Structure 1
Amino acid sequence: MRASTFFSTALFTATALAHGNITSPPARQPGPAMQAACGAAAVSAILADGTGPLENILSNGSPDCNIFLCKGAQFADNQALVQTFTAGQVVPFKAQLPIPHEGPANVSIIDTASNTVVGLPLIEFDTYADEALAVLPPNNTAFSVKMPTNLAGSCEVAGECVLQWFWFGTSAQQTYENCVDFVMA
């Protein structure tokens, strides 16, 4: 009885805290390298609520930790999740949005060394996850991006680039982000 009460409470808490994240392709996850860079509290925050906003992740203040780059998740913990894409390939995304917060969103290629956008966003939403709608548009939870054809010489080394899903809930003043590690073949 106690175990079922605990798991029911944990499930309710996780659901109540949830906001949004990418479920496919596989996004970076916390691990030992993140804990070394950002601290145990940062890892615990993501494990408790992987769909929560960046503002809920407390780092240890180390210069090795950048919560605004892949939630602080480190490539070293995610090498097995690297995807291989080709120029012009269409990449389907699936997002989980249990608590919508209207605001802009996009998917862009990010150079991880500088945390800067490479080229233009691959998809942009001026209005995304609008909580005023009875039902979210289907393209908020299932959409595709087309890999650019002008990345020759870039993003060929694992860990160099990520596809970053970025969403800012304007009313909630909360930032959501996931990163997908990839290489261009």
Structure 2
Amino acid sequence: MKYILTNLVSLAALSGVQGHAVMQSPVPRGTGPKQEELCGKLVTAVLERDLAGPIENAMNAVDSSYKCNAYLCRGYQYEDNVDNVHAVKAGDVLTFHIDLVAGHHPGYANVSVVDLASNTVIGELVSWDNWPDSTSGPPRNDTDFKVTIPNTLSTACDEGGKCAIQWYWWSISNSQTYESCLDFYVE
């Protein structure tokens, strides 16, 4: 029985069953060689294994090679994503879809503009006090939503690598963090 249980747990880990939620559209930042260099092979491997999983799973793999902040865009680095930077204008409306793999962990969520150099929120675009909201939809307004690019970002986010739109979910019931980032600049 122990052998069967161990194999089932291993199979669940490999298949991504432990995943919870991730931005699916627009295509968010992803992993790459710069992330592996800064975050280390072990942390990067855990984050790659479950793209929708909590960041805390990767923190259990931290070793001496960890020199990044996995709580900023999951440790995914701008340098690995320069071909996926979105040019936007103030007033543009972006449509998002969050793939909710497992939503039985209530918490709160938001979509904010983050200054990447200081890891500070410089603009909140939308937030939910109760996420995922089991009473939403269809269509759901917590996994499918729109945000408007504010006029106030034109100076702070005028070139790629300065800002990202970050979808963030904190699951209160199990103390887990989920994030996805979209690199952009305001034309």
The answer to whether the superposition gives a TM-score over 0.5 is yes
The answer to whether 1:34 aligns with 2:35 is yes
Q: What does residue range 1-185 of structure 1 map to in structure 2 within 5 Å? A: 13-58=14-59, 59-60=62-63, 64-100=67-103, 101-119=105-123, 121-130=124-133, 133=134, 137=137, 138-185=140-187
Q: Deviations over 1:11-66 (max 9, x none)?
A: 88434111000001111111100000000112111221000001011344557400
Task: Quote the Cα distance in structure 2 between the aligned partners of 1:53 and 1:12.
Answer: 13
Q: Deviations over 1:115-156 (max 9, x none)?
A: 00013x1000011115xx4x7541122101111011231211
- Percentage of pairs with the same residue: 37
* Ranges in structure 2 where 5+ consecutive residues have no aligned partner: 1-9
Alignment partner of 1:91: what SS? Answer: strand
Task: Quote the Cα distance in structure 1 between the aligned partners of 2:11 and 2:84.
Answer: 27
Asked whether the 8 Å contact 1:38–1:60 carries over to 2, the reply is no
What is the number of equivalent residue pairs in this alignment? Answer: 173
Higher mean displacement: 85-94 or 52-61: 52-61
Query: 1:81/1:10 Cα in 2 relative to 1: closer, same or farther (>3 Å)?
Result: farther
TM-score, normalised to structure 2, is 0.86
Alignment partner of 2:111: what SS? Answer: strand
Structure 2: which amino acid aligns with 1:168?
A: W
* Ranges in structure 1 where 5+ consecutive residues have no aligned partner: 1-8
Query: Where has structure 1 moved over 2 Å in runs of 4 or more?
Result: 9-15, 58-64
Matching residue of 1:3 = none
Task: Quote the Cα distance in structure 2 between the aligned partners of 1:42 and 1:169.
Answer: 21
Structure 1: which amino acid aligns with 2:130?
A: T
